[in-house]
Structure 1
Amino acid sequence: MGKVKKATRKFNQKHLKGELERRQKNKKAQQLHKRREQRSKRAGGGGGGGGEDSDAEQFTGIDEVDDLAEFAGSSIKGVDEDPARFMQSDSEAGSDGDSSDSENIASLLKGDDGSGDDDDDDDVAFASADGGGSESEGGSGSDGGSGSDGEDEEETFKRELEAMKEKDPAFFKFMKENDPEALKILEEQGSEDEDEDEDEDEDAGAGSDAEMGDDAEPDSDAEAGSDAEADSGTEVTAEMLGAWEREITGGNSIRALKGLLLALYAAAHMESENDGGRGSSPYRIRGMGIFNKTISTAIRVVPKALEHHAPVANGKVARTSKKWRVVQALIKSYLASLLELLRQMSDPAMIQYLIKECDRAAPYFGAFARPTRDLIKELLRQFGSGAADDGVRVMALLTLQRVVAAAPQAGVVDAALKGMYLTYVRNSNVKTLVSLKAIQLMRNCGVELYGVDAKASYQHAFVYVRQLAIHLRNSMQLRSKESFRAIYNWQFINSLWFWVEVLATYCGDRAEDKPELCDTLESLVYPVTQVILGVARLVPTAKYFPLRIHCLEMLLRLSAATGVYIPILPMAIEVLESPEFLSRRPTKSTLKPPVLDAQLKAPKEYEHTRVYLETVLEAVFGLLADTIASQSVRIAFPEWVVPAALQLRRWRKRVGKSWTRFSKQLQGLLDKIDQTARLVQQHRAKVDFSPSNLAAANQFMSTTSPDSTPIGVYAASLRKVREQQRAILIEAEAEGARPAAASASASASASASA
């Protein structure tokens, strides 16, 4: 390579950056101008085409952009706190401290660009951790500045130094010799980590005599040993455990309680001590028999002893008692041992047992900030674990509720709510119906937790719903393949499902039980509805009919529960009036019917096939029946249903011969609509109030259930058939997974023996 000219070097130093920015602006302006020309051509009827690529550029929901922009730039009403505190790092808020927690939930959701295949769009990862302050406050990930840019740059530099030390030790050595100042950050970070580890040892109750409390009775067993015995540790025996238990149950001996807790700590850290880890306990555990007996004895005896020395009143520990200074170190040691055991266990039954013990000890956890934070992190880890069963998740939820109620610290509720939502989002990628069932359970558990505090729930809901609106607004404006993938993925859809369930539960199903929570959250119904409408209409092509069906189900759930009218029928009828049904002949296929519940878009082999379109029609007819049935006891039902009935009759007349089975099903739906309209008219003929009396009109047929009307009975029968089909598919998937796992293990054992 030749020598660079002096003029080139000057240009690179002074003008290159500005020239690149100018060219980038010109390129964006040209692209914007090109898109505007395409839109004007389509508006003038010159678009033509009609293929899938041309359909992908169409967008019928542009009217929602202004509403989304207004909501995205708004702030929490009636709240004095800074919403940016919800975007703190997990180390401050009490969530996971893993590397995944440094992700930014307000950054654009990114897809798998490596494959280049559209079929992988469903597997797009959702950036689901806490961050997000810049985009939430500024409306855009790049425009909204953050006050922690310097800290972010420093953390990035530290990570780069650590990576350089591992990948390129020669260059690291060169840096150390020639620029030692740059490496001081890394050394300071290492010393800070060591200090934190020392703090953890002190707070966890490692078990030394000084840590157990100066006011406690002296431990004669520990003092009598020689230095050699202290190094090797006294071996715990069954006789020692029995003696401690008798002294504790008989006389509430603090000395015996201290010895038992030291043995429990040694059992909890047995693996780390065998590996050369911390050996701060004067006792050693030898054999699984003593290990199990130590744990069972401690869990059976210690809670009763703690209740005697530090009684619990109204779910909280009385910290003003005389013995509190003596026993608080013992309590910390017990809590630290429980958490350590919970981290190590993998058996679901044992995990449930330990979580139940943590639930019993919730008042004691609530007395200390750090153990409470550690317990919340561990419960959330167990809640989101892929190996966790339903019992573990439910028990983790119940314990979280107890901890939130018992802890007086201000940030506990925020840490629990935030951690629960982010854990749900990280684990909400649907693969099969079985995984969908597990995600629904996690969603129900999260909804339960969001009912503990009205003010905190509204603050978190507002921040995260606004972030979803920001993502959608950016996708509407950018209109690129990557921006569409940021919305059309399971994490985004399940996030919407989460907030729909929160609103439907506390503003509908249980509104009377928690009126304060209903009044607080009710203002979020409109923005959530707008986001769902925008998502459904972002790419209105036949490939994404499954996603639109999911959006219709969300709107139906929200409308039926809250009583807020949402125009669902026009969006459902848009699917029927698609060119796939009206003008294009479907291709025949021998494929099995797709499972739309576990899909967001049609697989490539299913596109334009008859089996795929028939499955879509079944789902749409079920949604039509459910939507009409939800309004069947309204006083205006006969007039409200007329436009939809006319459109359905027109569709049946136009394409009914091509879809004979669905034409008959649609005729049955129309007959039930007519019967329900006549029923409402009969009740309406008996009323004695005018249309201006809205209160009486809202109480019209209030004693009649929508499921008891003709259209309601018809919709319930369709719903029952769908539920039975889903149960059969879930059972088939579960049975298919078991033989596959058995065959895999058999082949592995055969290869090992060979």
Structure 2
Amino acid sequence: MGSKNKAKKAEEKKSKNTESMDDLKAKEHIEQLQRLQEKDPEFYEFLKEHDQELLDFDEEDLEIDEEEKENEEEETEHLTLAAENEEEPSKNTVTSAMVDTWCNAIQDSANLGAVRSLMRAFRTACHYGDDSGDDNSTKFSVMSSSVFNKIMLFVLTEMDGILRGLLRLPTSGGKKETIMDLMTTRPWKNHNNLVKSYLGNALHVLNQMTDTEMISFTLRKLRNSSVFLAAFPVLLRKYIKVALHFWGTGGGALPIVSFLLLRDLCIRLGSDCLDDCIKGMYKGYVLNCQLVNATKLQHIQFLGNCFIELLRVDLLSSYQHAFTYIRQLALILKEALSESTKKKEIYRKVYQWKYINCLELWTGAICANSSEGDLRPLAYPLSQIISGVARLVPTAQYFPLRLRCVRMLNRIAASTGTLIPVSLLLLDMLEIKELHKPPTGGVGKAVDLRAVLKVSKTTLKTRAFQEACVFSVVEELTEHLAQWSYSVAFFELSFVPSVRLRNFCKSTKVERFRREMRNLIRQINTNSEFTNKKRATVSFLPNDPEVASFLEDEKKSEASPLSQYAATLRQRAQQRDDTMMESSVLIGEKSSTFGNKTEDDDEEEDDDNSRWGKGARVFNSAWLPGRDSKIKLKEEEKKEKTRKQKDPQEQTALDEDVVEDLFLSSDEDRDENGSVSDTTDAEDVESERTITKRQKPPLGSSKKKRKVHDKKSKKRKRVNRT
């Protein structure tokens, strides 16, 4: 012990000598600057203009350094006092008293030494459970679960404000330029290691977490400090990768919190971050939409909405990505349409969920930003691709896919105000022979055309599919015509659809289809009369600009007969879809709860007790396997192996119990009251049944062998009964 004390004293003397030498050099430098100003004022002015940092060095910086040294000395005193109060502490143990002392010192006087000690303990907590947890280079390595909980909660909740105070930044907000300017200042040089330690260790613990609520809590707190990542490009890329993973695969509120973090990074850090996020989110969207069913549609729609929202951060940068990805879709379609390739092998690249959902995604992006001029030019090439996809394989089995394409084209036409001829795509669907005669495949199951791209040949002949097909054609054709029900050329536009609908009514033998078409034809004729009456009173030519104002007031109030009919059909379609939905799944299943939680948390930040209670429920130590639990699992495995080796009969008994549960005793083995006569007899019967079950001959054996086997089993039963 004496040698250790001497070594400590020698180290303290060395550190004091080095500190005093640094102070002397700094004071001499200040005196030299003062003398230079007196002797050569012209040169001093020159330095002011070209090297301001050299002249800004003054006694305030010395005072800051002295304060840091004093804080570190106080921190060491607190540590020694806390260590003395413990009964039998380990040298590297972090106790609850230590954490309370550091937290109080930080809150009361912003003690820098306490901040540094707390960050060392935070690093230990973040690496809790790692194999390198007992490394001698770390000052602390052992802590209890309650201390772990305290450190994590305090650091994640308060460290952003502490760092902003040390770096003399506003309490919230900031952009990349702010951090770039800050990196040349003295406070950043003194405290950037704290910022890097906080962000780096928090990233490490995010990669180890398994509890979704805890990950959401951590990401929401780190979101406040996202602007600091501008100074650490490597950490920034890792944070983007982690957030993208949680956004694409997380449950509960985690996808929403991850997306908000990514969006904040793009807003604060600019186009460099935006490019990585757009590429990563597009890849995550494609991976999630490879297989689609009725319950997964909402999840895919949620991911698509997030992606579209991210594109709106910077539409100029987003245009480049949108153009590239839409061009990729066009090249795939071109390959499928080319005569030199075999269509059966290539068209499957187009007629799959990945391709169709990507079309849906870019349709939603263009429709959401149709009022802006940045993405609007992509509407034409995208509509051409969708039309080509709908006509690629014109068979009845792919009618669900064609209907999806028609819906996309109707959305683009409605948002951009352009005419896209989709009536032919729909009217061609009415030409299949199954729709012109009663169904031969029976009623069939209800077909959800939103969740399939292709139906089987037997499904084509069912009544359910034929009804879904006809009703969908009527609904989409009504939507298309309703968009132009206020046009001065509506009569000419609806002439061909009216003629073909009449022909269908004459050829079909199904009365309910005939009735549906007659209703639509009646609405088209009524709307033609509605527009022709107004057209008879105008005097402008078709190419005059006044055409745009035709029936403008009626359009705002949606007074045309076809618009009202389209509204009723939408309600009918919604009711039909609701009845077919077996279960509804909300992504971010607790998204509404999460919204309430964020509001509550914002209010709770003013109240320490409520905030700590909230965090304690979310932030528990069960999220990470940890070294203790790993050791326990290994010990339990070893005990189980030794127990099996010592008592093999126990294991065989367990196996027999599992097998016996699969068999019931026969009526012959029961007495008159219907109960088993004796427990031993019952066990013999059950064991005999397991033996006979295992000794059954193979299915491919001959009849003679089976007869011999049956005779032997009967003899065994007689012997066992006697």
Q: TM-score range by the shorter chain?
A: 0.5 to 0.7
Q: Per the alignment, in what secondary structure is the counterpart of residue 519 of structure 1?
A: coil
CA contact (8 A) 2:434 2:460 kept: no
> Are residue 668 (structure 1) and residue 519 (structure 2) matched?
yes
Distance 1:593 1:423, change over 3 A: same
Contact 1:625 1:711 in 2 (8 A): yes
Q: Is 1:492 aligned to residue 342 of structure 2?
A: no
Distance between the aligned counterparts of 2:465 and 2:347, measured in 1? 23
Tell me, in whole angstroms, the C-alpha distance in 1 between the residues paired with 2:129 and 2:215. Answer: 18
CA contact (8 A) 1:629 1:706 kept: no
Which amino acid counterpart does residue 307 of structure 2 have in structure 1?
G
CA RMSD of aligned residues (A): 3.1
Distance in 2 (CA, whole Å) between partners of 1:237 and 1:427 is 45
Write the distance in 2 (CA, Å) between the matches of 1:393 and 1:685: 57
* Residue matched to 1:31: none
| 3-state SS of 1:566 partner | coil
CA deviation profile, 1:483-509 (whole Å, cap 9, x unmatched): 1111111000001111111111111xx
Instruction: Specify the alignment match of 1:521 in structure 2.
Output: 375
Partner of 2:163: 306
Where does structure 1 lack aligned partners over 5 or more consecutive residues? 1-212, 227-231, 512-517, 739-749
Q: In the alignment, what sits opposite 1:15?
A: none
- 1:718 corresponds in structure 2 to 569
Matches within 5 A, 1:453-602: 453-477=314-338, 478-507=341-370, 511=371, 518-582=372-436, 586-602=439-455
Is 1:619–2:472 an aligned residue pair? yes
Q: Please say if residues 444 and 462 of structure 2, whose CA atoms lie closer than 8 Å, have aligned partners that are also in contact.
A: no
**Structure 1 equivalent of residue 119 of structure 2:** 261
CA 1:307–1:531 in 2, change beyond 3 Å: closer, same or farther? Answer: same
User: Is the contact made by 1:234 and 1:284 (CA closer than 8 Å) also made in structure 2?
Assistant: yes
List per-residue Cα deviations over 1:274-322 (Å, max 9, x = no partner): 7x68776422353332222211111222111012122146444443442
Deviating more after overlay: 435-444 vs 722-731: 722-731
Determine the structure 1 residue equivalent to 2:487. 634
1:362 matched to 2:226: yes
Q: CA deviation at 1:751?
A: 7.6
Query: 1:589-643: CA deviations, max 9, x gaps?
Result: 3431111111010045424333222221122111111111122122211221111
Shift of 1:674: 1.8
Q: Quick one: which amino acid aligns to residue 362 of structure 1?
A: S
Q: Which has the higher relative contact order, 1 or 2, with Cα contacts under 8 A spaced 6 or more apart?
A: 1
Is 1:411 the counterpart of 2:272 in the alignment?
A: yes
Cα distance in 2 for partners of 1:617, 1:280 equals: 74
SS of corresponding position for 1:520: coil
Pairing 1:260-279 to 2, within 5 Å after superposition: 260-273=118-131
In structure 1, distance between residues paired with 2:266 and 2:359: 25
Contact 2:125 2:152 in 1 (8 A): yes
Are 2:309 and 1:448 aligned? Answer: yes
- Could you tell me which of 176, 186, 205 is aligned with 1:322? 186
Matched to 1:255, the amino acid is G
Distance 1:672 1:298, change over 3 A: same
> How far apart are the structure 1 equivalents of 2:102 and 2:660?
49
1:699 aligns with 2:549: yes
* Alignment match, 2:300: 439
Q: Using the TM superposition, give the Cα deviation of residue 553 of structure 1 relative to its aligned residue in structure 2, in angstroms.
A: 0.9
Is the aligned partner of 1:651 residue 2:501?
no
Q: Return closer, same or farther for 1:681/1:556 CA change in 2, 3 Å cut-off.
A: same
The structural deviation recorded for 1:706 is 7.5
Distance 1:706 1:467 in 2: 41
Q: Is the 8 A contact 1:263 1:281 kept in 2?
A: no
Which residue is 2:264 aligned to?
A: 402
Query: Which residue matches 2:105?
Result: 247
Q: SS state of the match for residue 548, structure 1?
A: helix
SS at match of 1:560: helix
Q: For residues 154-184 of structure 1, give each alpha carbon's deviation from its aligned partner in whole angstroms, at most 9, with x where no partner exists.
A: xxxxxxxxxxxxxxxxxxxxxxxxxxxxxxx
2:215 corresponds to 1:351:
yes
Q: 1:297 to 1:734 in 2, by over 3 A?
A: closer
Q: What secondary structure does 1:361 align onto?
A: helix
Per-residue CA distance 1:138-161 (angstroms, 9 max, x = gap): xxxxxxxxxxxxxxxxxxxxxxxx
Residue identity matched to 2:551: M
Contact 1:261 1:334 in 2 (8 A): yes
Mapped to 1, the partners of 2:128 and 2:362 lie a distance apart of 44
Q: Check the 8 A contact 1:367/1:407 in 2, yes or no.
A: no
Distance 1:590 1:685, change over 3 A: closer
Aligned to 1:135: none
Post-superposition shift, 1:733? 6.0
For the pair 1:682 / 2:539, whether they are aligned, the reply is no
Residues 537-568 of structure 1: per-residue CA shift (max 9 Å, x gap): 11111111111111111111111111121111
Alpha-carbon spacing, 1:543–1:299, altered in 2? closer, same or farther (3 Å): same
Deviation at 1:528, TM superposition (A): 0.7
Contact 2:156 2:222 in 1 (8 A): no
Equivalent residue, structure 2, for 1:66: none
1:522: Cα distance to partner? 2.0
Distance in 2 of aligned mates of 1:539 and 1:472: 12
Letter in 1 for 2:550: F
Structure 2 gap segments, 5+ residues each: 1-64, 84-89, 590-656, 662-722
Post-superposition offset of 1:245? 1.4
Runs of 4+ in 1 over 4 A off after TM superposition: 213-226, 276-280, 750-754
Q: Which amino acid aligns with 2:378?
A: L
Q: CA, structure 1 residues 272+216, in 2 after alignment: closer, same or farther (shift >3 Å)?
A: farther
State which structure, 1 or 2, has the greater radius of gyration over its C-alpha atoms: 2
Report SS of the residue matched to 2:351. coil
Q: Which amino acid aligns with 1:521?
A: L
Distance 1:427 1:247, change over 3 A: same
**In 1, Cα distance between the equivalents of 2:397 and 2:195?**
58
CA deviations over 1:22-68 (Å, ceiling 9, x no partner): xxxxxxxxxxxxxxxxxxxxxxxxxxxxxxxxxxxxxxxxxxxxxxx
Question: Residue 216 of structure 1 contacts residue 326 of structure 1 at CA under 8 Å; is this kept in 2?
Answer: no
Q: In structure 2, what is the Cα distance between the partners aligned to 1:752 and 1:673? A: 70
Alignment length, in residue pairs? 508
Q: Distance in 2 between matches of 1:663 and 1:277?
A: 80
Structure 1 letter corresponding to 2:542: P
User: Is the counterpart of residue 427 in structure 1 residue 288 in structure 2?
Assistant: yes
Tell me if structure 2 keeps the 8 A contact 1:707–1:716.
Answer: no
Question: Using a 3 Å threshold, how does the CA distance of structure 1 residues 214 and 454 change in structure 2: closer, same or farther?
Answer: farther
- Cα deviation, residue 467, structure 1: 0.7
In 2: Cα distance, 1:428 partner to 1:285 partner: 45
CA shift in 2, pair 1:634/1:265, >3 Å = farther
- State the secondary structure of the residue aligned to 1:632: coil
Deviations 1:319-364 (A, max 9, x none): 3442111221211111123223333333333232222112211211
Q: Is the 8 A contact 2:292 2:353 kept in 1?
A: no
1:171-190 to structure 2, matched below 5 A, reads none
> Aligned partners of 1:249 and 1:604: how far apart in 2?
73
TM-score normalised by L of structure 2: 0.66
AA at the equivalent of 1:357? K
